[in-house]
Amino acid sequence: MYARSSTHLDACPATRRATMQRAAHGFICAVAWLLICSTASAQVTRAAAEELRSELQAMRARQDALEAENRQLRSKLDAMEARLAPTPPTLTESISTSLLADAQVAKQPVKFTPGGGGFSLNDGPYSLSFYGFAQGLASVYDSRLKRSDGNGDFNVRAARLDFLFDYADRYQLLVEVDTAPGNAVPGGSDFGLVVASLNTKVIGNALQLEVGKLTDPFSTENYRTSRDVDTIERFMALNSLFILPALDSQYGAVIKGELGSERKFGYFFGTFNGNADAFNNTSDSNDSKELVAKLTYARRGFSAGLGLDYSREASQLLSLTDLSFANYLTVPIAGERFGIGADAFWEWGRWTLRTEGLAFRFDVDRTPPTSIAGLTMTTDRTAVLTGAFIQPTVYLRGNRTQGMELLLRGEFSKLDVRGNTDGDTLYALTLGMNWYLSPNLRLQTNSILHYFDGPSRVLGLRKRQTIPLLLTELQVKF
478 residues of the chain, pLDDT tens digit each: 334 444 343 445 555 566 566 655 666 666 565 556 555 555 555 666 677 777 777 777 777 777 777 777 776 666 665 555 444 444 444 545 555 555 554 456 778 887 778 888 988 899 999 999 999 999 999 888 888 778 888 888 889 999 999 999 999 999 998 887 554 444 445 567 889 999 999 999 999 999 999 988 999 999 888 888 999 999 999 999 988 888 888 889 999 999 987 889 999 999 988 776 656 655 656 667 899 999 999 999 999 999 999 998 888 889 999 999 999 999 999 889 999 999 999 999 999 999 999 999 999 887 755 555 566 655 568 899 999 999 999 999 999 889 999 999 999 999 998 888 899 999 999 999 999 999 999 999 999 999 999 999 988 899 999 999 999 999 999 9
CB 151 within 8 A of CB 139: no
Q: Which helix (H) or strand (E) holds 39?
A: helix 2-84
CB 247 within 8 A of CB 276: yes
Length of the chain: 478
Residue 338 one-letter amino acid: F
Which pLDDT score is estimated for 150? Answer: 80
CB 342 within 8 A of CB 309: no
Which pLDDT score is estimated for 175? Answer: 93
Q: Which tens digit of pLDDT belongs to each residue from 81-102?
A: 555 544 444 444 454 555 555 5
Q: Which tens digit of pLDDT belongs to each residue from 362-382?
A: 998 877 555 555 666 555 688
Closest CA to 321 of 150, 461, 187, 145: 145
Integer Cα distance of 316 and 362 in angstroms? 11
Taking CB atoms within 8 Å and a gap of at least 24, the contacts of 125-130 are 125/167, 125/168, 125/169, 126/165, 126/166, 126/167, 127/103, 127/165, 127/166, 128/163, 128/164, 128/165, 128/166, 129/99, 129/102, 129/103, 129/162, 129/163, 129/164, 129/165, 129/166, 130/161, 130/162, 130/163
| Residue 191 DSSP class | S
Q: How far apart, in Å, are the Cα atoms of 115 and each of 174, 178, 431?
A: 20, 20, 25
Where in 116-204 does DSSP place strands (E)?
Answer: 118-123, 126-140, 152-167, 171-178, 192-203
Around Cβ 322, how many Cβ atoms within 10 Å?
Answer: 23
Integer Cα distance of 341 and 139 in angstroms? 30
Which pLDDT score is estimated for 237? Answer: 95
Which pLDDT score is estimated for 220? Answer: 94
Task: Give this prediction's pTM.
Answer: 0.73
The SS3 call for residue 53 is: helix
Q: How far apart, in Å, are the Cα atoms of 245 and each of 278, 293, 440, 444?
A: 9, 19, 32, 27
Integer Cα distance of 56 and 64 in angstroms? 12
CB 447 within 8 A of CB 476: no
| Residue 88 DSSP class | -
- Spell out the residues 6+ positions from residue 464 whose beta carbon is closer than 8 angstroms to its own: 423, 451, 452, 453, 454, 455
| Residue 126 DSSP class | E
Which pLDDT score is estimated for 81? Answer: 54
Which pLDDT score is estimated for 108? Answer: 61
- Spell out the residues 6+ positions from residue 142 whose beta carbon is closer than 8 angstroms to its own: 151, 467, 468, 469
Q: How far apart, in Å, are the Cα atoms of 391 and each of 130, 180, 195, 408, 409?
A: 32, 29, 28, 6, 4
Cα dihedral 369, 272, 222, 314 in deg (nearest 10):
-10
CB 260 within 8 A of CB 169: no
Which pLDDT score is estimated for 416? Answer: 93
Q: Regarding beta strands 192-203 and 171-178, do their DSSP bridges make them parallel or antiparallel, or are they unpaired?
A: antiparallel
- Chain mean pLDDT for the chain: 81
Integer Cα distance of 67 and 73 in angstroms? 10
